[in-house]
Structure 1
């Protein structure tokens, strides 16, 4: 499939730490922060998880190295060319702006969102990059007062290159079933703003056997298992709390194919049907009034960042339609481990390969997942 405007390849899961965000983290000394090494040849270190901030290790070896790939729009464009990507919808990577003090949160969000809007606008107006389009998901000042969050949601709708927002799983700090989020959800619904939901906090180290076990295997357990389960738990809490009952037009795009939600949806449905705490079964708590399958088919989209055909098939079955699945890369994370310049990324090619293998005789389905769905859902002008 060629990456033309008639058959675009759109990457809806692709991150950046723009220069203003790099500066913000570089001026911090507690998680999340960026450590600038004394060796000018060494890459800065990004420490965004508490488990990365191990005092027994020197700061020069904590977290992960962050080279210019994380913050350079030129590097993003080079990556797009290598992989035949027509359009990238860029979002700030975790931990977004969750850690900001309330009095500075709105100002910081406005600055970073404007930086992304400006960069996308300049790119899309440039004849040099006419075949590479950029759009963005904005970041919300979730530590700010609710009125500030609502005002930024409304303002973002006036920015032509911002096509939604990205949000973590803690919401205002207490999870996505927090009643205090209702005003936020109402604003997202009324403005028809899609939310890209992305994990960050994972699970406690004890879930994997303790810190020593996590350290032994690096990021494998927190990323491969902790992230998908974090997403699953967050969305399940929203569902159980009736968020989708109260806000039937609310739309979320779930990272990593919805975590384990596609596999566990039937089990969740069964447990809800048998739960004695719910009013429907004689209890005192109002349980969800809609089927989880209805929510999956009406309120949730899933990305295709799953790396395996069984996972993508589960996502397709749970979503109810190929029209609700969108291609993503998770760039700049999971880069090639070698030093070959311009090498294709295994993490990207495996996802593209899975899409091709899942629809070997259905060109239209491949076209939709690789780009057509994103163009339609996000209203992209390519």
Structure 2
């Protein structure tokens, strides 16, 4: 830990890892499917954005793969601990069952190996094959019980699987039972070519996907059935916390929107959110609508759409010292406190 050991460690819950060797093996095993996925990404993002992203990621490979470089960058940011999850391009939501479960197991192994190089500084999150609900619990257990990870990262949807899908009920139940973290981080946006310029695929697509996915969870009553679920949303939950009044209105007046027991806004205090919102006023709003115990420091390390100075942005947000300390580390520590240990 850097700095004063008496204080709560500053924890960044949104930091990524790249697995180039695993991706090369996926390409070897399924070249046609990889090519189809690449074509979809070209349609969704547009060639200029893909070219810019390729150069950006290439320049950040050491931060995404080398633990010593990661730790030095954390020190420079004043971050004591990172929760490390793979870059969402490693979700492979198109993968058939055999490949998907191999990817999940290999990802969990590689994340565990990465964080084990600095266990006092790094906490790992694994993955599950979301598009194959019948195999998800198996790989949740693999991540948490088999590899000692703190939880798993999931996308906003995969194939025909939305987060309201009844086939996910065993997954939500098991995640709540284990007390592990489920980190919601979208990859891609189903709006496709409408967002293929101006980098709208990220600036609009990611917040939209977060809002859609969380709405599926809320309106389907997932949080009613599994009140112990620890669901953490990237990018501050996207648009949902900032337009939640519309959801409340629908719940009050539309019968088909009444699948949850209470107004949708009440469930914001049953979720957790990171601070990757790029706006001090938005951070304050998250605190107001979700509660100070539900907002955690995030950076999206080390991508260009992340926060260069995540700690400084929170300290500049005009929050009380007590709330600032909760966001910088207290809430992350509490979120992990009751998880099952191996």
Q: Same fold (TM over 0.5)?
A: yes
1:49 alignment partner, SS class: helix
Whether the 8 Å CA contact 1:106–1:141 is kept in 2: the answer is: yes
Task: Find the partner of 1:260 among 216, 239, 252.
Answer: 239
**Structure 2 counterpart of 1:23:** 24
**Structure 2 counterpart of 1:140:** 128
RMSD over aligned CA atoms reads 3.0
Q: Displacement of 1:26 after TM fit?
A: 5.0
1:156 alignment partner, SS class: helix
Whether the 8 Å CA contact 1:172–1:181 is kept in 2: the answer is: no
Higher relative contact order (CA 8 A, sep 6+): 2
**Structure 2 counterpart of 1:165:** 152
What is the TM-score normalised by the length of structure 2? 0.85
Task: Find the partner of 1:109 among 91, 104, 113.
Answer: 104
Q: Displacement of 1:16 after TM fit?
A: 0.8
Q: Displacement of 1:231 after TM fit?
A: 0.6
Q: How many residues align?
A: 329
What are the residue-to-residue correspondences of 1:243-322 with 2, within 5 Å? 243-277=222-256, 287-298=259-270, 300-319=271-290, 321-322=291-292
Question: For 1:54-83, what per-residue CA distance to the aligned partner results, in whole angstroms no more than 9, with x for missing partners?
Answer: 6xx69x948523332332223212211221
1:157 alignment partner, SS class: helix
2:175 alignment partner, SS class: helix
**Structure 2 counterpart of 1:7:** 8
**Structure 2 counterpart of 1:188:** 175
1:100 alignment partner, SS class: coil
From the superposition, tell whether residues 324 and 276 of structure 1 become closer, same or farther in structure 2 (CA, over 3 Å). Answer: closer
From the superposition, tell whether residues 104 and 75 of structure 1 become closer, same or farther in structure 2 (CA, over 3 Å). Answer: same
From the superposition, tell whether residues 53 and 262 of structure 1 become closer, same or farther in structure 2 (CA, over 3 Å). Answer: closer
Q: Please identify, of 79-88 and 149-158, the stretch whose mean Cα deviation from structure 2 is larger.
A: 149-158
Question: For 1:29-67, what per-residue CA distance to the aligned partner results, in whole angstroms no more than 9, with x for missing partners?
Answer: 46757xxxxxxxxxxxx988243686xx69x94852333
Whole-angstrom distance in 1 between the partners of 2:27 and 2:173:
35
> Is 1:83 the equivalent of 2:41?
no
Q: Displacement of 1:118 after TM fit?
A: 2.1
**Structure 1 counterpart of 2:321:** 363
Task: Find the partner of 1:375 among 333, 336, 342.
Answer: 333
Higher helix share: 2
From the superposition, tell whether residues 151 and 174 of structure 1 become closer, same or farther in structure 2 (CA, over 3 Å). Answer: closer
Unaligned runs of 5+ in 2: none
**Structure 2 counterpart of 1:41:** none
Whole-angstrom distance in 1 between the partners of 2:235 and 2:45:
25
Task: Find the partner of 1:93 among 80, 83, 87.
Answer: 87
Whole-angstrom distance in 2 between the partners of 1:366 and 1:20:
39
From the superposition, tell whether residues 53 and 85 of structure 1 become closer, same or farther in structure 2 (CA, over 3 Å). Answer: closer
What is the TM-score normalised by the length of structure 1? 0.77
Whether the 8 Å CA contact 1:254–1:301 is kept in 2: the answer is: yes
- Determine which structure has more spread, i.e. the larger CA radius of gyration: 1
Whole-angstrom distance in 2 between the partners of 1:97 and 1:89:
21
Q: Displacement of 1:273 after TM fit?
A: 0.2
Whether the 8 Å CA contact 1:90–1:135 is kept in 2: the answer is: yes
**Structure 2 counterpart of 1:200:** 187
Whole-angstrom distance in 1 between the partners of 2:84 and 2:249:
37
